[in-house]
Amino acid sequence: MTEEIIIAGFGGQGVLSMGKILAYSGIMQDQEVAWMPSYGPEMRGGTANVTVILSDARISSPVLTRYDTAIILNQQSMDKFENAVKPGGMLLYDPNGITRPPARDDIAIYKIEATRLAAEAGNPKSFNMIVLGAFLKVKPIVILDNVEKGLAKSLPARHHHLIPVNIEAIQSGMNHVEKS
Partner 1 sequence: MKGNEVIAEAAIRCGCDGYFGYPITPQSEIMETLMAREPWKETGMVVLQAESEIAAINMVYGAAACGKKAMTSSSSPGLSLKQEGLTYLAGAELPCLVVDVARGGPGLGTIQPAQSDYFQATRGGGHGDYHLLVLAPASVQEMNDFVALGFELAFKYRNPVMILADGVIGQMMEKVRLDDRVPRWSDEDIERISGEWALTGKKNERARHVVTSLELDSYKQEEFNHKLQAKYRRMETEDVRHEELSCDDADYIFVAYGSSARVCQKSVQLCREQGIKAGLFRPITLYPYPRLPLQALARRVKGFLAVEMSAGQMVDDVRLAVNATAPVEHFGRYGGVIPTPDEIVEALKKQIIKA
Question: Which residues form the interface with partner 1 (CB under 8 A)?
Answer: 20, 23, 27, 32-37, 39-41, 59-66
Residue 4 vs 148, nearer CB to partner 1? 4
The minimum distance between CB 125 and partner 1, in angstroms, equals: 22
Of 87 and 122, nearer to partner 1 (C-beta) is 87
Least distance (Å) from partner 1 to the CB of residue 172?
27
Quote the longest CA-to-CA distance of the chain. Answer: 45
Instruction: Determine the Cα–Cα distance for residues 110 and 94; give it in Å rounded to an integer.
Output: 9
Residue number, 60 or 175, with CB nearest to partner 1: 60
Minimum CB distance to partner 1, residue 27 (Å): 5
Smallest gap, in angstroms, from Cβ of residue 92 to partner 1?
A: 22
Q: Which is nearer to partner 1, 86 or 139 (by Cβ)?
A: 86
